[in-house]
Amino acid sequence: MAMTLIQGRDPPKISLHRSGLNLELQSSYIDIYNAESTTGRTQWEPPVGSPDPSLAPSVSPPPTQAHTKRRQYAAGQTQAYYGAADGLSAPSYGGAAAVQPQPTQLFTPGLAAENQFQQQQVQGGQPPYYGGAPAEPDYINAPQQPTYGQQPQAQMGALADQFGQMNVGQRGLRLYTTNLLTSPPDSNELHRPPPEICLPPNACVSPSPLANADASYQRCTLNAIPTTNSLLKKTNIPLGLVITPYRTLKDGDEPVPVVTDTVIARCRRCRTYINPYVQFIDGGNRWRCCMCSLSNEVPQLFDWDQVRNQPGDRWARAELNHGVVEFVAPTEYMVRPPQPAVYVFLIDVSHSAIQSGMVATATRTILENLDRIPDENGRTKVAIIAFDVSMYFFSMPSGTTDSAMLVVSDIDDVFLPKPTDLLVNLSESRASLEALLGRLGDMFQENHIIGSALGPALQAGFQLMAPIGGKIIVLSSSLPSVGSGALKNREDPKVLGTSKESALLQAASPFYKTFAIECSRAQVSVDMFLFSSAYQDVATLACLPHYTAGQTFFYPAFNARTEDAIKFAHEFGSVLAQPIMLEAVMRVRASKNLRMSSFHGNFFVRSTDLLAMPAVPQDLSYAIEVQIEDTITAPFVVFQTAVLHTTCYGERRIRVITTALPTTSNLSEVFASADQIAIGTLLANKAVERCITHKLEDSRDALFNKMVEILTAYKASMTAAGAGASAQLAISENLKMLPVLILGLLKNVGIRQSAQIPPDLRAYAQALLTSLPSQLLIPYLHPTFYSLHSMPPECGTVGEQGVILPPPLPLTSERLERHGLYLIEDGQTIFLWVGRDSVPQLIIDVFNLPSYEVLRGGKTTLPVLDNPFNQRVNAIVQKIREMRRGSYWPHVYIVKEDGEPALRLWALSCLIQDRSDVLPSYQQFVSQLKDKVNGGNY
């Protein structure tokens, strides 16, 4: 059968020729739906009641109202933005990553004997997958097609069945166009899964739905890879990966399967780990690598169950069924025996640290979380070093509650005052450690020394743990002022908002980067907890976590009031309890003609593509740009991330994350496969890097221009307007939220144009932009806005998926009513906006206060009262704090409509669809994009 796609100004035609059959179909007026679009199932999934996918009907007729599109005219645009009645329909473009194997795939267990394998091949083996290009997808290239001319449903079903027998329309990926000028942003789009991964049949040796890594571990900006770099350039979409190799497992999440038999099959040439996308050949005795096509021998024990000491089931092995798997590593993967987990606490005890209550809060938190520090095998070691302008070491012998303090005042020549009992076993010296933590705050209660020898303290901690490696946790409350790494206050309000501001975001001293690289070599990671009411140079100090795979936490104006103490204790305790990966290196491999070109995140690039991470915290994200070097001939490509690490329990392991994606030479399919969440995450990383290497203004311009380039490319290739001017601003449905994400990034504290943002706040925001996983980054760029006073009665109560949240509102102050109570949150902060005309009963029910006038704005802890509305509001706040991964605990701020101006402006800055300061509203932003796209002079 031959299929020809004829494009032009008229609606596209599909011409089919098979055995004399010649059909021409106006695809604009007739929609051919596959089984997935009508049942909601992935294509290989058998429908309910049908045990065999091959027995299911190939095509079902679509509902008559599906995907109808109507014209929007200028008079109705405002209503379309903020009303629910108008706008283009939003068809579901995403679904679980699906592979489409044939029913007769080799999934039968027990291949210990070669004749069994050959028999299966005869019955229906795995045919070669390097044959034939993927089918061309259907697409729609105009957002406003009339609905007349539809075929009767009976004829539609007959035609669909006929095409189904010809293997036409079996691909589930379709392109839908929307007009940004008339289609308001819908925050629900951000919670949809990425576009479906439509692999060719028999690409995978397993029918498992988990054969491709979940998007929360690894996702690509494009779920269909262009076969050439020139095709990629026609889209102007950056190609890259967003990887979160070690994410938190929430209730209901599948645990990562562990292969414990130490049988690890790897390609001899490219060192790829065996995965669900390899091909078994030669009677099952060899396997062909899915990246370089080299034939490799199957290990002798691959089909042997070492636990039961009997032939095993090859097809039940985790590495052939799961995209994310962990191998217990044999000795050849070890440079040295697995080391114990080591935690060295560096605690600032200068006057400001004592007065703010930081020392008391920190020591109490460590004491309360000693049982949560990973120590199942009793090997974990800890040490405590206090510092102001001197250093205070503590000897904690085992078997006693006594400890001795050793003072080192020589900060120019750092040395350890005692060879033993400074770094102690957590279990053996537990009594003395608890006693020390209980009195450490009192020991320095009268300390009036101002100054910080952070640099020498870091060097001392490094000397203490360098032979082993581990984690240094710094709790600092003042700007380092003496010794190595001393810094000066370089905050200058005159520079803020100018082209010179980017200099404040660069490290002021080379000491910290040099020291961080030394730490990386010795497998030492650094976490920074920074507390300050004054300038602390977060930009410089954040170098330490950046190059050692650590984390930065910042607490401006910390004063140990209840809210500050709870937030710090939760986040610090969460970091202490994390089962971190130690001594880790990460490498990402890809199929032939794909190359990792640049890396973003907290690590040190040890060689061209080897990322050194002394410790891998949970829920840290990394972004990697990918380059297409030559034409890709394979029907699909594979990305594989391998993290060799030591668990905090002393076991050497390899975590392998595999993602397979189809290739395409069709531009419409590339656009239809674009993942706006991954693109937004990658662009956030690139924007921060550009802020530091160039200027903030350059970064903002680059973001705006990238959005213009994508829209221009889409208009030129996917719409009838081509290169000419257009009254519309067209984009594919799966990218309709990308402009609002870019606008959110432009309005984020890390990037925003403003002369009012302190450098420390901006530097901390940039650290978040480059480390947050997508699940946390997206709300940070696109906050969530709820109405609480008018929420449906079921909101705040417990449903099947936990506490039910209210429906989100558009991020505009036009939705604020004077009598209302609203919640705005971005994952880092929660604002409760209280209207000035709120009825007294609302204030009584929520805050237990008699009226609006006596309500005070600012940080608060909501009271828990004995009334249903208060309990629902508290449940919603608690759900928001707990529903996302990560260690962050958002503060709650009460914002009165006529309250403190700075607090009001902070809360309103989250409503990113509004105009703020010099930054445009969403409507203005889209209009600017339209002018640039039509003008083409960017």
Confidence of residue 870 (pLDDT cuts 50, 70, 90): very high
Q: Are 50 and 151 in contact (CB under 8 A)?
A: no
Q: Of the ranges 91-100, 356-365, 828-837, 863-872, which one carries the lowest mean pLDDT score?
A: 91-100
Helix, coil or strand: residue 59: coil
What percentage of the chain exceeds 90 in pLDDT? 69
Q: Which residues contact 597 (CB under 8 A, 6 or more apart)?
A: 625, 626, 627
| Statement: residue 175 has pLDDT above 70 | yes
Q: What percent of the chain has pLDDT over 70?
A: 81
Q: Name the token pair of 928.
A: 């600017």
CA distance 290 to 199: 13
Q: What is the pLDDT of residues 687-711, one digit of tens each?
A: 999 998 889 999 999 999 999 999 9
Please give the full DSSP string across 326-394, using - where no structure is assigned.
Answer: EEE--GGG-SSPPPPPEEEEEEE-SHHHHHHTHHHHHHHHHHHTTTTS--TTS--EEEEEEESSSEEEE
Question: What's the per-residue H, E or C state across 506-535?
Answer: CCCCHHHHHHHHHHHHCCEEEEEEEEECCC
Q: Averaged over 23-27, what is the pLDDT?
A: 35
The segment with the largest mean pLDDT, out of 10-14, 190-194, 492-496, is 190-194
**DSSP per-residue string spanning 92-154:** --B-S-B----TT----S---SHHHHHHHHHHH----SSSSPPPPPPB---S----TTPPPHH
Task: Pick 640 or 335 by higher pLDDT.
Answer: 640
| φ, ψ (nearest 5 deg) of residue 585 | -130, 145
Residue 320 CA to residue 328 CA, distance in Å, equals: 16
Do residues 477 and 532 lie in contact, with contact meaning Cβ atoms separated by under 8 Å? yes
Torsions phi, psi for 71 (to 5 deg): -75, 145
* More reliable by pLDDT, 272 or 376: 272
The residue among 937, 920, 938, 930 whose CA lies nearest residue 729 is 930
User: Which residue did the predictor score with more confidence, 216 or 160?
Assistant: 216
- pLDDT band for 498, please (50, 70, 90 cuts): confident
Does pLDDT of 106 surpass 60?
Answer: no
CB atoms within 10 A of CB 640: 25
Does 26 score more than 80 pLDDT? no
131-145, 517-531, 535-549, 656-670, range with the lowest pLDDT: 131-145
Kindly tell me if the per-residue pLDDT of 74 is higher than 50: no
Q: How far is CA 401 from CA 167, 253, 422, 868, in A?
A: 77, 42, 14, 49
**Cα separations (Å) of 148 from 64, 123, 151?**
11, 49, 9
Spatial neighbors of 622 by CB under 8 A, at least 6 apart, are 242, 243, 244, 245, 586, 599, 600, 601, 602, 603, 611
Burial class (CB in 10 A: 0-12, 13-18, 19+), 906: middle
d(CA 696, CA 274): 44
At residue 502, the pLDDT reads: 86
Amino acid, res. 237: I
Structural domains of the chain, ranges and CATH numbers in brackets = 1-66+139-171 (no CATH), 342-577 (3.40.50.410), 783-911 (3.40.20.10)
Is the pLDDT assigned to residue 77 strictly greater than 50? Answer: no
The label of the residue with tokens 């098979």 reads: 18
Tell the residue number behind the tokens 């490319």, with chain if given.
713
Average pLDDT of the residues of the chain:
83
Report pLDDT for 376.
86
Q: Averaged over 5-25, what is the pLDDT?
A: 38
Burial of 19 (0-12, 13-18, 19+ CB in 10 A): exposed
CB 703 within 8 A of CB 747: no
Residue 223 reports pLDDT greater than 60: yes
Indicate the residue type of 179.
N
Q: How confident is the model at residue 172 (pLDDT cuts 50, 70, 90)?
A: low
Give this prediction's pTM. 0.81
d(CA 541, CA 508): 9
Which tokens is 344 given?
A: 């060295």
